[in-house]
Amino acid sequence: MEQEEIMDERLSDLTDLARRISDLYAERFDVERDATWYLGKMSEELGEVTSAYLKLAGQGRGAGSRADLENEVADLLGFVLLFADWQGIDPGKALQRKWGSYLEAEKV
């Protein structure tokens, strides 16, 4: 299996996990997942990543931990994957197309 296929499979598995958890959350709390929800959750989680990092770096209020930062990155990734899925975007292919183009430019 090629590296690209392995990455696609892993992202697909992670997207499935995020979707299952999101479905449980939406059912439990009667949440309508619309544009406002997807965009708001990504923004919220980015703020929480920022806060966790600043606390860990001694620049925020309160104590921070590596586990807190990792958990917030996991939340942000989950919501990015959910947003991509909702929009019909293959995040692996999009990343390879966008970021991989820089590697192609280096070969010239």
- 7-107 fold: Helix Hairpins (1.10.287)
The three state secondary structure string of 14-83 is HHHHHHHHHHHHHHHHCCCCCHHHHHHHHHHHHHHHHHHHHHHCCCCCCCCCHHHHHHHHHHHHHHHHHH
> What are 58-91's pLDDT values in tens digits?
999 999 999 999 999 999 999 999 999 999 999 9
Distance, first Cα to last Cα, the chain: 27
CA nearest to 34, candidates 76, 73, 87, 72 = 87
% the chain with pLDDT above 70 = 98
